[in-house]
């Protein structure tokens, strides 16, 4: 097998204290910095922070938190998961991440996407009726900016640019991905603009995404662009035993799914749904051995370049820290051994 990378992602979900109360946002953010420092110390390759603008998530400015992490780490790569490009300005996105790249000595990555929620659209004055054109135009502009050459661009969602340079430049360019939930159109768009494909697999068996990976490779060939890396992002938590991991995650998973169901019209989850997602779906919950076997199977089946575990289940912070330690020290070496053999 090729050299696969292993990362951790978090949306900055608000954790609980020992009494079951929500931890205040400032403490959650400080805890996230500690999480990333721990991840770097146990050999994790990448740490990604999501952008949200709602009370159940603490991070609205990933680059600020990532800069704090950069000051306390030396090797781990740092990026968004995702930057909500549709409601941001591509010029400012480039500038902020180029600055992070300088601060971190070349470790910054952009993962651009539409985001899991829509709160940022009214917050920043964007019309949801422009959902498609906003992302299409802004992704096109971001791709041009990442060349670090003078950009001439015209669209309908922001002022045009004429032979415009944007600063700071980076030392060696910057890796950039597009977060995709699984639509063929999004996969083809990602290929057309030369971004890496960052697949969010949050439900069902991972093998059903094989067709999207094949489409991505074929689209790159048709557009005659160099093949870019492919990453997978899925939720989970590692504990000492399968039973401990399931007990830690169960209540929070049901609470989160019920909340999302109320917002999006999903049916209420059942106990079978929880077990099914762990046993054969996209929930990587269990002992180091259980999670390692499942990750190895996903990586081998899909042939991806990186696997990211979204570890921020709604539990206490010490459970996150335990999960990060086990992931870096036990799960990742096991997966590497499994793939090598």
Write the DSSP string, 57-95: B--S-HHHHHHHHHHH-SS-EEEES-EEGGGS-HHHHHH
For residue 224, pLDDT over 70 is answered with yes
Which helix (H) or strand (E) segment holds residue 309: the answer is: strand 306-310
What confidence category does residue 1 fall into, taking pLDDT thresholds of 50, 70 and 90? low
How many Cα atoms are found within 13 Å in the side-chain-facing hemisphere of 311? 32
**pLDDT tens digit string along 136-195?**
999 999 999 999 999 999 999 999 999 999 999 999 999 999 999 989 999 999 999 999
Of all residues in the chain, what percent carry a pLDDT higher than 70? 99
For residue 255, pLDDT over 90 is answered with no
The CA angle 113-163-156, to the nearest 5 degrees, is: 45
- Provide the H-helix boundaries in 146-195: 184-192
Lowest mean pLDDT among 20-29, 76-85, 128-137, 263-272: 263-272
What confidence category does residue 333 fall into, taking pLDDT thresholds of 50, 70 and 90? very high
**pLDDT tens digit string along 38-56?**
999 999 999 999 999 999 9
How many Cα atoms are found within 13 Å in the side-chain-facing hemisphere of 81? 31
For residue 2, pLDDT over 80 is answered with no
Looking at domain 5-340, which of 3.20.20.30, 3.40.50.1370, 3.10.580.10, 3.10.110.10 is its CATH number? 3.20.20.30
How many Cα atoms are found within 13 Å in the side-chain-facing hemisphere of 181? 8
């Amino acid at each position: 097998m090729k050299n696969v990378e292993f990362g951790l992602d978090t949306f900055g979900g608000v954790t609980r204290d020992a009494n079951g109360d929500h931890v205040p946002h400032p403490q959650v953010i400080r805890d996230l910095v500690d999480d990333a420092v721990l991840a770097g110390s146990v050999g994790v390759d990448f740490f990604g922070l999501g952008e949200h603008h709602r009370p159940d998530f603490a991070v609205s400015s990933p680059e600020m938190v990532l800069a704090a992490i950069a000051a306390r780490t030396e090797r781990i790569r740092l990026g968004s998961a995702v930057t909500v490009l549709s409601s941001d300005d591509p010029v400012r996105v480039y500038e902020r991440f180029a600055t992070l790249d300088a601060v971190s000595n070349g470790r910054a990555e952009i993962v651009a996407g539409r985001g899991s929620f829509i709160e940022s659209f009214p917050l920043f004055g964007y019309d949801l009726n422009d959902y498609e054109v906003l992302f299409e135009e802004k992704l096109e502009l971001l791709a041009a900016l990442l060349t670090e050459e003078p950009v001439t661009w015209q669209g309908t969602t922001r002022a045009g640019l004429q032979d415009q340079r944007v600063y700071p430049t980076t030392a060696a360019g910057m890796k950039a991905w597009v977060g995709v939930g699984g639509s063929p159109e999004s996969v083809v768009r990602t290929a057309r603009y030369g971004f890496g494909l960052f697949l969010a697999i949050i439900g069902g068996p991972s093998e059903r995404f094989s067709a999207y990976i094949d489409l991505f490779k074929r689209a790159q060939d048709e557009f005659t662009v160099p093949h870019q890396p492919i990453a997978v992002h899925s939720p989970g938590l590692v504990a000492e035993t399968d039973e401990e991991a399931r007990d830690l995650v169960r209540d929070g998973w049901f609470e989160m799914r019920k909340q999302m169901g109320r917002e999006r019209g999903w049916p209420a989850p059942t106990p079978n749904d929880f077990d099914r997602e762990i046993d054969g779906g996209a929930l990587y919950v269990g002992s180091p051995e259980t999670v390692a076997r499942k990750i190895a199977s996903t990586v081998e089946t899909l042939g991806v370049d990186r696997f990211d575990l979204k570890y921020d289940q709604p539990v206490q912070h010490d459970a996150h820290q335990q999960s990060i330690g086990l992931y870096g020290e036990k799960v990742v070496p096991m997966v590497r051994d499994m793939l090598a053999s």
